[in-house]
């Protein structure tokens, strides 16, 4: 209930900010590809259980779509959405009558967010940063089952998921009259009742100004 109240407060505050300026307008659309890393903070238990299972420094890649609006002289408000899919090819499966040896690992997610982006005054080149919060749902699934080895090791079936989170980043922009690019280093933090995640990587969007 507390989290819902915070989101509702932020929504009301943003609506109040928007209503105080008639000249607020859409000024930029961004669409880009990103690459994120996740160390997972594991204790290497799964590597001990199976040589086929080593999800350390798991990575994801995906796309981000953002809409930016000019509000302050040196800062934009923005909202957007992103989706990430795990790039690891972990997992194996073998089955004979009465014996199974399998491992699997899946990591993916995404969500919607809104935030603020301070930037320098350069028209065609400058530095900027971002700070955003929203609903960021990431899911980690992992399983280990082996009744082939002797003695039979302990089976593992585990799922973690997040609900809310935020992003922070710093980068630069380079644009002409209409089209440009905005590479940035980005950190994504997401958590929930049964899991938390920390990703770090980069995002390289193409920008179109109006």
pLDDT, tens digit (0-9, with 9 covering 90-100), for 35-79: 998 866 565 666 666 665 666 657 899 999 999 988 787 889 999
| 10 is a domain residue | no
* 200 neighbors 187 (Cβ within 8 angstroms): yes
Q: Which domain holds residue 133?
A: 24-209
- Which residues lie below 8 Å from residue 170, measured CB to CB, with a gap of 6+? 127, 128, 129, 130, 184, 185
Q: How confident is the model at residue 15 (pLDDT cuts 50, 70, 90)?
A: very low
Q: What is the mean pLDDT of the chain?
A: 81
| 18 is a domain residue | no
Distance from C-alpha of 143 to C-alpha of 159, rounded to nearest angstrom: 9
Does the structure show a pLDDT above 50 at 12? no
| 4 is a domain residue | no
| 5 is a domain residue | no
* 68 neighbors 118 (Cβ within 8 angstroms): no
Q: Could you give the number of structural domains in the chain?
A: 1
According to the model, what pLDDT value does residue 103 have?
82
According to the model, what pLDDT value does residue 177 have?
82
pTM of the model: 0.77
Question: Cβ of 170: how many Cβ atoms within 10 Å?
Answer: 13
Q: Which of 190, 172, 181, 171 lies closest to 208 in space, CA to CA? A: 181
The mean pLDDT of 90-110, rounded to a whole number, is 81
| 7 is a domain residue | no
- Which residues lie below 8 Å from residue 154, measured CB to CB, with a gap of 6+? none
- The pair of three-digit structure tokens given for residue 6, joined into one six-digit string: 């915070």
| 43 is a domain residue | yes
22-31, 154-163, 176-185: which has the highest mean pLDDT?
176-185
* 203 neighbors 64 (Cβ within 8 angstroms): yes
**Which CATH number belongs to the domain containing residue 165 in this structure?**
2.40.160.20
| 16 is a domain residue | no
Q: Which residues pair with 99 in a beta bridge?
A: 96
């Amino acid at each position: 209930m507390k989290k819902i109240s915070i989101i509702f407060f932020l929504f009301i505050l943003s609506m109040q900010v928007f209503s105080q300026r008639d000249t607020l307008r859409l000024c930029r659309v961004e669409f880009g590809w990103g690459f994120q890393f996740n160390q997972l903070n594991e204790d290497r238990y799964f590597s001990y259980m199976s040589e086929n299972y080593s999800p350390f420094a798991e990575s994801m890649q995906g796309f981000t779509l953002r809409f930016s609006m000019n509000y302050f002289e040196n800062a934009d408000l923005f909202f957007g959405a992103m989706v990430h899919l795990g790039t690891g090819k972990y997992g194996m499966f073998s089955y004979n009558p009465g014996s199974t040896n399998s491992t699997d690992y899946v990591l993916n997610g995404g969500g919607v967010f809104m935030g603020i982006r301070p930037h320098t005054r350069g028209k065609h080149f400058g530095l900027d940063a971002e700070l955003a919060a929203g609903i960021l749902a990431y899911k980690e699934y992992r399983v280990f089952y082996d009744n082939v080895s002797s003695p039979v090791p302990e089976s593992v079936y585990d799922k973690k998921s997040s609900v809310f989170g935020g992003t922070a980043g710093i980068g630069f922009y380079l644009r002409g009259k209409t089209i440009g690019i905005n590479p940035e280093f980005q950190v994504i933090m997401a958590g929930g009742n049964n899991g938390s995640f920390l990703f770090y990587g980069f995002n390289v969007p193409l920008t179109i100004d109006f």
